[in-house]
Amino acid sequence: MNENLKRLSDAGVSIWLDDISRERLRSGNLSALIRDKNVTGVTSNPTIFASALSKGDAYDAQMRDLATRGVTVEEAVRAITTFDIRWAADVLRPVFDATRGVDGRVSIEVDPRMARRTEATIAEARALWWLVDRPNVHIKIPATVEGLPAITQAISEGISVNVTLIFSLERYRQVIDAWLSGLEKAKANGLDLATIESVASFFVSRVDTEIDSRLDKIGTPEAAELKGRAAVANARLAYAAYEEVMNSPRWQALRAAGAHPQRPLWASTGVKNPDFPDTLYVEQLVTAGVVNTMPEKTLDASADHGRISGDTIRPFYQQAWDVMASLKQAGIDYDDVVRALEEEGLEKFETSWGELLETVDGELRKA
């Protein structure tokens, strides 16, 4: 196993891969990453699937079968994506068993066009849970206002959830509350809480991308000094909020009933700005009990030259608050930033979903 990644795992960070494709599965690449780079989970999203479908011939045989059956484009998309998720879940099953269900997880997202519709999201989550039919799947639900009650309902029914597209500290606290409410309902329903896993995907690099562009427009030396600091500070304060909940009587009662924590998951950890170290959002967000889901490029960089030096979150809470205060003083409207990021994130996923539908439609016509 790679020594740098072993140090990261030993520090308590679960390493997940933010990518999936039929080619990666059939070539044995995912199995190799589990063995050699300590990958213990996989996340997917519409953009990842759209990219996978546009490359190679791995999907051709299934596409011909789907065309022969005359299925709709949307049915074909779900058949293709859930096939990959089931396969990845089976590859990761030994990790799932070894960690008693904590890791070895694979995530699939609800149709992003439903992100503003609570009942549709709940129905989609149930359908995906049934379609994949693996205990180590996570159903990804966006952390929109409308998504919050869907998170609670899914958890209450025993569906493991990856809450995605979290940018703000306030929304993160609402996500935690929705998760706790779901567990309380699951307990009241007599479900085994130990079988319900959840992670909260707090997005990182996009925060720097948005705030740094605003700092450039401000143009002062003080603004320039703050570039590349907002995302890490924001994530560190998210972990502080998580710690508060872990010390609450509400959580302690659920833990005593067998529940597992909803771990913070650092998402969007590929560095967008070439001026920043390519392992920035790995090295600066290390502490026990978190997940970092990485694009393969970031995973390789961390394996090659990542420097893991203990806890880089909990000792830096005050520094994080200072950064946020300085951003406000410089003229950054945090609430406007996170609102824009949520809207942009949903729009990007909807666009990718549309591209996925178009790609599959084209392939079905050719098959």
DSSP string, 219-247: --HHHHHTTT-HHHHHHHHHHHHHHHHHT
Give the tens place of pLDDT for each residue, 198-239. 999 999 999 999 999 999 999 999 999 999 999 999 999 999
| Contacting residues for 223 by C-beta, under 8 A, at least 6 apart | 215, 216, 330, 331
Q: Kindly state the average pLDDT of the residues 262-266.
A: 98
Domain ranges of the chain: 3-366
Give the model's confidence band at 335: pLDDT under 50 very low, under 70 low, under 90 confident, else very high.
very high
E strand segments, the chain: 13-17, 39-42, 105-109, 137-142, 161-166, 198-203, 262-267, 290-294
- pLDDT at position 63, please? 94
- Residue 312: both structure tokens together: 């880089």
Q: Evaluate if residue 138 carries a pLDDT over 90.
A: yes
Q: 353: number of CA atoms within 13 Å, CB side?
A: 17
Q: Which two tokens stand for residue 358?
A: 């178009």
pLDDT of residue 54 exceeding 90: no
- The fraction of the chain above a pLDDT of 70, given in percent, is 100
In this structure, what DSSP letter does residue 110 have? P
What is the structure's pLDDT at 1?
A: 80
Confidence of residue 75 (pLDDT cuts 50, 70, 90): very high
Please name the fold of domain 3-366: TIM Barrel (3.20.20)
pTM for the full model?
Answer: 0.97
Residue 176, SS3? helix
Question: How is residue 195 annotated by DSSP?
Answer: G
pLDDT(139) > 90: yes
Phi first, then psi, for residue 303 (nearest 5°) are -65, -35
CA 59 to chain CA centroid, nearest Å: 25
The pLDDT value recorded for residue 16 is 98
Mean pLDDT confidence for 89-95: 98
Q: What are phi and psi of 197, to 5 degrees?
A: -110, 150
**What is the chain's mean pLDDT, rounded?**
97
Across-strand partners of 16?
41, 293
Mean pLDDT of 100-121: 96
Neighbours of 170 (CB within 10 A): 12
Please say if 140 is a catalytic residue. yes
d(C-alpha 302, C-alpha 17), whole Å: 12
- Give the residue carrying structure tokens 């030096």: 309
Whether the CB-CB separation of 143 and 166 falls below 8 Å is answered with yes
DSSP for residue 258: T
Nearest Cα to Cα of residue 89 among 157, 141, 139: 139
Which positions ≥6 away from 4 have C-beta within 8 Å?
A: 302, 303, 304, 305, 306, 307, 308
Which of 140, 185, 227, 328 is flagged as catalytic?
140
Predicted local distance difference test score (pLDDT) of residue 211: 98
Note the pLDDT tens digit of each residue in 173-184: 999 999 999 999
pLDDT at position 102 over 90: yes
pLDDT digits 0-9 by tens, 22-51: 999 999 999 999 999 999 999 999 999 989
Whether 290 and 265 have beta carbons less than 8 Å apart is answered as yes
pLDDT higher than threshold 90 for residue 325: yes
Question: Would you state the pLDDT for residue 55?
Answer: 87
Per DSSP, the three-state class of 291 is strand
Retrieve residue 294's tokens. 């990485």
User: Is pLDDT of 141 > 90?
Assistant: yes
Tell me how crowded residue 321 is: count the other CB atoms within 10 A of its CB.
14
**In the structure, what pLDDT confidence band is assigned to residue 129 with cuts at 50, 70 and 90?**
very high
Average pLDDT for 129-135: 98
Taking only the tens place, the pLDDT of each residue in 304-321 is 999 998 999 999 999 999
Q: What CA–CA distance (Å, rounded) separates 167 from 345?
A: 10
